Chains A and B, each alone.
Chain A
Amino acid sequence: MSKGFASNYRIILLATGVIGCFCALGTRLVFLHVIDRDELVRVVEKARRQIIPESARRGDILDTRGNILATSRSMIVLGVDPQSLRPEDEKKWPELAALIEMSFPELKRILEKKTRPAPIVPPESGNAAETSSLPLFSSTLGAAEIAEKPVSPDDDMQLDERVGVNGERLIRWARLHESISETTYAKIDALGIKGVYGSRVYRRAYPHNSLASHVVGYVNKAGEAAAGIEAYADFYLHGRDGWREGERDGKGREVAQFRTRAVTAADGYSVTLSLDATVQHILEEELQEIATTYKPQKATIIVSDPRTGFILGLANYPSFNLNEYGKLSKADQGMMRNIAVADIYEPGSTFKIVAASGALNENLVNPATTFDCSITQIDYRGRPRNLPGEDHHFTEPLAVAQIISKSSNRGAAQLAMLLGEKRFYDYARAFGFGQVTGFPVGGEIPGMMAPPEKWDGLTITRMPMGHSVAATPLQMHMAMGVIASGGVLLRPQIIKQISDARGEVAYRYTTVVKHRVMTEQTAATMCKLLKGVPIEGTGRAAAIPDYEVAGKTGSTQKIIDGRYSNHHHVASFVGFFPASRPQVAISVFIDDATSVTGSYASGGSVAAPSFKRIGEQLIQYLDIKPVYSTAGTNSIVMGGARQ
């Protein structure tokens, strides 16, 4: 450096200037970072700070073999900002109309409507403020840029906050389609129509449509679990939404490096049911067959594993499509009723298992004990009681086994009289009547069974044949399960396990024994008695060749206008097989079937054949092997021979 330059006064000036600049810069920085800091930070944060919600994916509902019964699909709510549309895109409108399956005139009407009279909603509702804050993203942006914030499906239109001179507001967003698939949206995105916007939402999808609709339930458009397992297991299914806090740039895009805090969304757990989709399909196909042939008011079929109480299938007629539940009219909403647990009926002859089991368990009778079933009146507690009528006239005294197989009303009444009101009532309660079974879905009701102190003189003769008592189909099914399970009442269960999003089992449901009803020996004896029903009794149509079937028919007269009708019945067959080693319990209930063969649609003529058809299919599907029992077990107590 030359001495001349260094000694020049200009260098001092330059140095002073540089230092002055630094001082000015420093002063400004002090103002920006110290004195005005709070105000500036507030302004910047207001402009740039954002909280982005992250939706958790609702868990799946699976059947016992892992088939998906309910899942969540990402769908796009498609809309348009009519103010952003460009004239050069108009030639793409017909293609857009075709993609969203909307008529072109309808699409054109929406796209060309730019304003709407204000206000569209009452100001106090607050909807306008909420909806106007929804982030909207151009379809010309990448898929990752699409808003994940759900748009309320009730909002078809969003208006500008400012009111024009003519009292109208600009339409900022109008709905084009409620749910576009990702694939379709990719095609729409490729069209590049400026102003077409999409918001991504998770929607529930039911791949099997109406299969097990009463069990699975549904999530409504507002995202609230409304029925079935969806509602019962909502705590596990819904997951936990997350959010992240960060900043956005001038175009509203997230600036990834400025993320400050984040709570990751936790996807919902998956619920695995004990229900088997194939078994369920077999039941629903059978119900369709029943509906076509007998035109009943309603019908229900239940299949369970009697050893564990887990339900393998539960189907009702009429049913509904889970994907179209919103299209049901008010009149058709009764289809959503799970009649297996929410409807009651008089169980009829199937209830005779209570009196017979009680009398056998108390050692008051044995299978060979006979009763005169031709009498019409009997003395009980010092008073003559009228016995109920019979469908058949029995000239010979009937053994207990025959009372069951031939379904004698008078025989059942005499068995109950041997027990007495209190013990008979206690046994009926022990079988689960008059109380809820604990089935988690469908709005279960307890049925009706009055305590003995409220009985009249005839109740002890009528209740044993299944009158003066009301039960749900599931209660009757589980009561038969007591005999199949060796004498214990099990809790019916539909959920097998709950797994987290990675597939790890969080909770596994196991068999729940409520209490013991009878000894194993009595249950085995009852099994033998019930085997007679399909062999020489009222349920011959339920017999499956090579298999030991145990069951009981029921034909209950319906009460029409306050009187028992001779033309309207609830036909039922409740049973299980193989009787010596029960693997499935099947119950068929058909309400008000039209008889095609006999005078009325009885359990033996209508429900028993269904039991057989279902049983034959289950034998193959579940690989149920016949029990070739050792000597003695095939010959039932009343002497019926089995080939």
Chain B
Amino acid sequence: MGADLAALMLAAQAGDQDSYRVLLEELQPVLRSYVKRRIRDEEAANDICQDVLLTMHRVRHTFEPGRSFEPWFYAIARSRFIDHLRRRRRRGDLEVGDDAVAEIVAEEPSAGWGQFLELLERLPESQREAFSMLKIEGLSVEEAAERAGVSISALKVRAHRAYGVLRRGLLGSEE
């Protein structure tokens, strides 16, 4: 996510349609990648992506100025994803191959996700961006470095720092 998504969202909240269009267009591939990494069914993935964008549109007033965009957005995406899985589970048509899904549902009641979001939000912008591109969007290091406009080694340093902060934050709290 190259653009300043928080700034675009704030402009959208003020009614700026151009900013909103840019924001949605920036988010679509990211969201698609996020969902496709977790579910194989193409049609279901499309449904979830649409549902996430619709929900984001409906609750856009809950994005707070001064906060990071990513935790807000991924909280919505994750929630819609889980809702979709619950519906499919109730219908009994969850694919055997959707193992990541079960993992996500299983982890839902834990506080780990909330803590993760909190840690993610506290990361410096450059580190959060590096983490998001590599671990959420699933970009290669080369692609991420190109998008961030930095060298590969610089991006690796940012990502490693982010991993370190997240690891210490998550593991430290369990000790």
Are chains A and B native binding partners rather than an unrelated pairing?
no
Q: Which residues of B contact A (CB under 8 A)?
A: none
Q: Which residues of A contact B (CB under 8 A)?
A: none
